[in-house]
Structure 1
């Protein structure tokens, strides 16, 4: 049990830093142990105890599974002198570590959620250091939307993509380009998604340019697309603005893969679909005048439809689709004749 001045110090610091007293006590003990090792040039592990009589210091050695403690030959005056120094120097470092660890554990639970922060620094490579309050995170250049720029003091909303430790130090990575960022924004904006009435089944994005979202409703009578888009597009427009004007197509999910592909290629209107399940590939026929619409500028529309459905999609004009079908029939007939001759 810690008594007297040390107890008061621990209580005061715990209150100031909003940390549990046990954490502060451990930090103080670590700080004193580090300072003693440095001052006395000791290599062995040191353990510090707080008693009614004062601070006790032991060297610690292990023999098998046993931990052996030996009192350190050091005067109380020396211990107090070093402890006073440690309280000023090492203790602050240890407290910082304790606060960082608590922040790490708290944010580990928020992994995959949206967080808010303030830009603290912009690095030369374009990465952004974001202050999340208790801990810093990094928004890498690759996870920023095209054309975005930041300066210290800017507010940031992002997905907490990953929380891990690298060489013992916490590393929090943010993203504004990940498909789940759009999914979480939809959850924030659409109460019916939060309540579980509407489910976001799939999301595909080309960050900053365009996205496709497939949604489904538990009740068939519900119009999930209309609900997600909002009256006059207000809900989806708000999300689009957060994503730098990214255009968002919302379609209704279908368990029928051919129908899902058909919907995913909107605004084009596919007329025929041929599936190759073993290749997870589809050939889709659209009217000649809709060919460029189905493919999209720089192939974006068909690329997003492929990402959304998980199938490779080849878009053809109706004329070419039918020619290819006829060619395959002839090939099959030819193979049949060969088999008969054999």
Structure 2
């Protein structure tokens, strides 16, 4: 039996490329499991194998506990029991007694095999994770081993397998058994079956890594890809930048006669790739990203992190793209929300907003249209700016003297004070309902603010949108969504 154990350990270790220690532990577990069957209940058994000779001994174990903690007769003994046996073993320690060992041959085809297989799988997974942990976000190559309804199983070699979900395949893309495949190692996912390598061919990083493979300047870090966005199988955009003025970043990615970008496109099932020049100026970056459409003008709204992009009427369809594809990719590439419109619509919108601002200045500051227009043209967008912009800046405006500036600033500050007082009065008169006050995530001040805006009950809050709540000072999108979801909880409870 001893020689047989050594032979099994040697053979399995060599075949599976797993450390012998792992196989010895598996055999010990299997022998202990077989020995436990001789006892009732949850007996504890340990087997120790001499890894040099293959000889092994079996021990039954008991946890030593205080009398008042005794609860498991099959696996526990008390300190009093130890005293009666003349042993000085304290609570928390383990008492062992050698028992007859099971013969290895009796269990070789059953328990030992199962445990060894399980241990080997665990060891292989651990080895696989160690091998691929530094390859996450990189390209890997393999062969289609199995096709299931939800995914492809890819053999990466050296006993490593990966899963490529069907939704991570490019549109209209099909693979058969034994086909060679290239994909991005997106993550190492932990589940009930252990660690699993998950691949993707639809992520923007897959395209970035393909360019890194095809364009030596990227691999050498002379050229940098600063952003990427994809509509898998249809169209993609990448933004590139270089600090070396001798290199044309777009030309380097395109390659001689388009060879480099064509190689990337072919790997992505014919996906068209727009290569644009990265610019640290967000507006210029958006102009570059909207290519091939030409941009007439851009208005930036820093607060909402959005831009109004104006194009000529005959260029609108190209700027938006089929099903909004071009503007959607440009938005994903730049990180800005882009509102594309004709130059005429942009001008009309700007005139409308300017007129609103002029009307605000006229009514709140009690000034004539000409002065209000001048303020708007100088870039003043709020009453707060009129009140608190430094005196020196306002004196630089043509026709503005110290008396006029002081008068404007005084009127603006009085208007702001009146608005604050009115808001305070509204808060004091607001009476939120008890269910709104007691709602999870609510505080008294916010409840008063909501009530002042007509949102008095949880039902009222449930009918609001996130955008409506964002109008409240200090409110962010995450909290607004959570509050609305909490307020709507009774709706879902009723439907159930």
Normalising by structure 2, report the TM-score.
Answer: 0.63
1:199 aligns with 224
* Gapped regions of structure 1 (runs ≥ 5): none
1:105 aligns with 2:130: yes
Change (3 A) 1:98 1:191: same
Change (3 A) 1:202 1:53: closer
The separation in 1 between residues aligned to 2:296 and 2:174, in whole angstroms, is 43
Equivalent residue in structure 2 for 1:290, among 290, 310, 315: 315
Show the 5 A alignment for 1:228-243: 228-243=253-268
* Residue range with higher mean Cα deviation, 31-40 or 172-181: 31-40
CA contact (8 A) 2:26 2:112 kept: no
Change (3 A) 1:188 1:44: farther
User: Secondary structure of 2:333's partner?
Assistant: helix
Equivalent residue in structure 2 for 1:129, among 153, 177, 185: 153
CA contact (8 A) 1:32 1:87 kept: yes
Show the 5 A alignment for 1:205-216: 205-216=230-241
1:51-83 C-alpha deviation (Å, 9 max, x unpaired): 2581112344556995525234224xx333346
Alpha-carbon distance, 1:151 to partner: 2.1
Alpha-carbon distance, 1:97 to partner: 3.1
* Residue range with higher mean Cα deviation, 295-304 or 25-34: 25-34
The separation in 1 between residues aligned to 2:155 and 2:40, in whole angstroms, is 38
CA contact (8 A) 1:34 1:90 kept: no
Normalising by structure 1, report the TM-score.
Answer: 0.89
2:298 aligns with 273
Change (3 A) 1:254 1:95: same
1:159 aligns with 2:184: yes
1:158-185 C-alpha deviation (Å, 9 max, x unpaired): 1111212212522222111111111111
CA contact (8 A) 1:113 1:184 kept: yes
The separation in 1 between residues aligned to 2:228 and 2:211, in whole angstroms, is 11
CA RMSD of aligned residues (A): 2.5
Equivalent residue in structure 2 for 1:255, among 280, 304, 323: 280
* Residue range with higher mean Cα deviation, 8-17 or 302-311: 8-17
Change (3 A) 1:66 1:276: same
1:48 aligns with 47
Change (3 A) 1:81 1:259: same
The separation in 1 between residues aligned to 2:291 and 2:103, in whole angstroms, is 76
The separation in 2 between residues aligned to 1:153 and 1:258, in whole angstroms, is 48
Alpha-carbon distance, 1:200 to partner: 1.1
Show the 5 A alignment for 1:218-229: 218-229=243-254
Show the 5 A alignment for 1:314-325: 314-325=339-350
User: Secondary structure of 1:255's partner?
Assistant: coil
Change (3 A) 1:16 1:168: closer
The separation in 2 between residues aligned to 1:42 and 1:227, in whole angstroms, is 72
User: Secondary structure of 1:268's partner?
Assistant: coil
Alpha-carbon distance, 1:242 to partner: 0.6
1:19 aligns with 18
* Residue range with higher mean Cα deviation, 42-51 or 311-320: 42-51
Q: Say which structure is richer in strand.
A: 1
Change (3 A) 1:246 1:28: same
Change (3 A) 1:159 1:254: same
2:96 aligns with 70
User: Secondary structure of 2:251's partner?
Assistant: helix
The separation in 1 between residues aligned to 2:132 and 2:39, in whole angstroms, is 39
Change (3 A) 1:250 1:31: farther
- Structure with larger RCO (C-alpha < 8 A, sep 6+): 1
Q: Say which structure is richer in helix.
A: 2
Equivalent residue in structure 1 for 2:335, among 295, 301, 310: 310
Larger Rg: 2
* Gapped regions of structure 2 (runs ≥ 5): 66-90, 367-414, 416-496
